[in-house]
Structure 1
Amino acid sequence: MTMQSSAPQRLGKADWTIHLLSATSGGADIVAFLKFHMVFTSAMTGNLALFGIAVGEGHMLSSTHSLAALLGFIAGIILGTLWKEHLHALRILLCIEAAFLGIYAVTWLNAGFPYNGAWLYVLIMASALSMGLQSVAARLINVAGVPSVVFTNTLTSIVITFTENFRRKSAFPFAWRQQLAALFAYLVGAILFSIFLFNIPILAMILPFYLVVIALFIHWPSTNNPSGG
């Protein structure tokens, strides 16, 4: 049974899990874009566009940064897919994601902000792999079709639903509010990580790990229900 058919008319554990993951992906994109040579590790559409720009301008070194993010994201999806049929798939995926975000944090704490070299690629790929895993986890949570890692389709759905319901003067469905809340969480994550990055950088390093751990503990009491409802 999906969240759309079983969700109560209030935000539940599944929503809060998605909000934490959405904030994490918003932060991942901000940090990657500002510190890792203008790449995205969550929003692969934007990352592909940046890869195309780099190749088109002949900046082959810059293109390898976007390529590393793309490959890391794909690897995360593959890893997540291998586990998604497990009874406790969401627990496992969030544990693996937290592990890679831990690698990301430890690498960053030890290497600082590497402008090139192997450490830069470790950071890019660890972040992107985590986001790939998260994209599979979000499908298991299944809150109003929110993917947690990219919000173009979600924004489209929000605007379409708003326009149609406003024109008909009908009530907005609960799924619309769920989507709006998740989009807001992504935006808040992006804003907070931007502030932390320039004022308290250690928080930008370690907070993704803790956000996913909190999401894991919110979900942990669930057994057979991946949505945690």
Structure 2
Amino acid sequence: MPNEPTAAGSETTPSEPGKRVVDLILMLLTAAAGATDALAYLGLGGVFTANMTGNLVLFGIAGASGADMHLARAGVAVTAFTVGLVIAYRMTAVPGLTRWLWPRRVSLSLVVALALQTTLAVIWAQTAAHPGRLVDMGLVALSGAAMGMQTAAARRLAKAGITTTFVTGTLTSVAEDLSHGSTKNVLRRCAALLSLVAGALGGAVALRVAPALAAGIAPLLVMAALLIAGLRLHGRRS
């Protein structure tokens, strides 16, 4: 794929509305991560598939208590997440990527992540939200790989220090900015934190009221992000 070509005369200059659209997309992806982690923690054996820090803590807890299945699930999640990261970073490793407000390579990696999440949602629904142990492991792997790819895609954008699958760094950035008396990016970073909470709340509520459909929340949010990106941002310079 060439380096983000555009049709003659189709380039547009960056605008504040365009940047706000990027922020909206990142919020949607962050909410998807929250919903994904809620499903994984509550429905896939108490692990995280977006928040790898939590899994590393689970390694220690499970190791001390001898919980072999928790160790296995956490190990699968971390491994799949790492594989997803590597694949997405390679997919988006093209010269001049930062010249574009939303590179097509980022959308391509999110399409792959969406395919993984959709596969998970279909299998989850077919098992009536009660996958067996082996299927459970497979779903953890699918979810972890999808979240790894989403993380790498969002990281390529590097917008205001916002990440979509882990927010400790975002929270740290908010505190650092406030300590310096700067409020330039505080609102968008706080919006990312709230988006994660909202996504997790939505995922948890869905698991309670419509468990078989709960895994579909994250794919819908990612699909919305991709549609907005494709319609509004492709071909725009940053």
2:104 to 74, 88, 93: 88
CA contact (8 A) 1:14 1:141 kept: no
- TM-score, length-scaled by structure 2: 0.84
**Aligned mates of 1:185, 1:203 — CA distance in 2:** 20
CA contact (8 A) 1:73 1:131 kept: yes
Structure 2: which amino acid aligns with 1:18? Answer: L
Deviates more, 1:127-136 or 1:155-164: 155-164
| Percent identity of equivalent pairs | 27
Alignment pair present for 1:138 and 2:142? no
CA contact (8 A) 2:85 2:152 kept: yes
Alignment pair present for 1:218 and 2:218? no
SS of the aligned residue for 1:12 comes to helix
- Deviation, structure 1 residue 128: 0.8
Structure 2: which amino acid aligns with 1:213? Answer: M
The aligned residue for residue 97 of structure 1 is 113
Alignment pair present for 1:125 and 2:132? no
- Deviation, structure 1 residue 64: 0.2
**Aligned mates of 2:18, 2:216 — CA distance in 1:** 31
CA contact (8 A) 1:143 1:178 kept: no
- Deviation, structure 1 residue 141: 2.5
Deviates more, 1:216-225 or 1:41-50: 216-225
The aligned residue for residue 125 of structure 2 is 109
The aligned residue for residue 172 of structure 1 is 183
Alignment pair present for 1:209 and 2:225? no
**Aligned mates of 1:197, 1:154 — CA distance in 2:** 27
**Aligned mates of 1:120, 1:148 — CA distance in 2:** 24
Alignment pair present for 1:29 and 2:40? no
Structure 2: which amino acid aligns with 1:191? Answer: L
CA contact (8 A) 1:42 1:150 kept: yes
Alignment pair present for 1:194 and 2:210? no
- Deviation, structure 1 residue 53: 1.1
SS of the aligned residue for 2:159 comes to coil
**Aligned mates of 1:124, 1:44 — CA distance in 2:** 12
- Deviation, structure 1 residue 120: 0.2
Deviations 1:182-205 (A, max 9, x none): 111111111111111101224422
SS of the aligned residue for 2:180 comes to helix
- Deviation, structure 1 residue 9: 8.4
**Aligned mates of 1:113, 1:56 — CA distance in 2:** 30
The aligned residue for residue 3 of structure 1 is none
Structure 1: which amino acid aligns with 2:116? Answer: F
The aligned residue for residue 176 of structure 2 is 160
CA contact (8 A) 2:28 2:221 kept: yes
Alignment pair present for 1:39 and 2:47? yes
Deviations 1:116-135 (A, max 9, x none): 42210111111111100011
**Aligned mates of 1:23, 1:192 — CA distance in 2:** 9
CA contact (8 A) 1:28 1:42 kept: yes
**Aligned mates of 1:189, 1:68 — CA distance in 2:** 23
Give the unaligned 5+ runs of structure 2.
1-13, 95-102
**Aligned mates of 1:66, 1:192 — CA distance in 2:** 23
Give the unaligned 5+ runs of structure 1.
1-5, 166-170
Aligned pairs, number = 216
CA contact (8 A) 2:58 2:70 kept: no
Structure 1: which amino acid aligns with 2:20? Answer: G
CA contact (8 A) 1:22 1:148 kept: yes
SS of the aligned residue for 1:106 comes to helix
CA contact (8 A) 1:43 1:149 kept: yes
